[in-house]
Amino acid sequence: MGRLVVTQNTTLDGVVEATGGWFAPQDDGVDASDQLDVVRRHMTGQSVFLVGRRTFEDMRGFWPHRTGDTTGISAHLDAVDKAVVSRTLTDPGWANTTVLAGDPVDEVRRLVADRDGEVGVTGSITLCSALIAAGLVDEYRLFVFPRVLGSGRRLFPEGTDVRLAATGSRTFRSGVTLLTYRRA
């Protein structure tokens, strides 16, 4: 049986909505290789990359077309099994992709039960909210950027009450801090 791991870039005030490029490095000259090493390690643990339709379409329009990508993200996303939750998408148009067209919570519950390793989800705010509300998330990996936006969609919507246990933290040269939690 697998584990469901949510990885998100977030601002200090909890915004995960990717508008305006706020998750770009604060200083373009900063060596972010330490953070990229951790991202690569996370990718190697994934048996499935899970996303909602909008995030999938954004990623499908960007990552497969990158040439000379030295991060390894393009290669990982092309090779890894992908699952996209969508009631409208019929042809994913990206290799190794399965469309989960039923109830998102039920589909993800089955996916995690049928897999070994990590089922990793990122972006996909609506999907993450549903999975959090259903108590399916085993681990959270939050890359906290030293930024405050004051508005935008958050990973944990108002009224969410989830008890977590901290399992680690690491601050990178860029000023980004990775906070990891599991269900308490």
| 162-182 average pLDDT score | 96
Instruction: Select from 130, 139, 136 the least CA-distant residue to 178.
Output: 139
pLDDT of residue 92: 94
Residue found under tokens 């305006």: 20
Q: Is 20 left (phi over 0), alpha (psi -120 to 50) or beta?
A: left
**Domains within the chain, CATH numbers bracketed:** 3-17+30-183 (3.40.430.10)
Query: Over pLDDT 70: what percentage of the chain?
Result: 96
pLDDT digits (tens, 9 = 90+) for 73-105: 888 999 999 999 999 998 999 999 999 999 999
Q: Are 114 and 4 in contact (CB under 8 A)?
A: no
Q: Cβ atoms within 10 A of the Cβ of 141, count?
A: 19
Element (H, E) at 145: strand 139-145
Q: What is the pLDDT of residue 25?
A: 57
Alpha carbons 135 and 124: distance in angstroms, whole number: 16
Distance of alpha carbon 114 from alpha carbon 125, whole angstroms: 24
- Residue-wise pLDDT for 109-167, tens only, equals 999 999 999 999 999 999 999 999 999 999 999 999 999 988 889 999 888 899 999 99
- Is the predicted pLDDT of residue 71 greater than 90, yes or no? no
Q: Report residue 28's pLDDT band, with 50, 70 and 90 as the boundaries.
A: low
pLDDT recorded at residue 26: 56
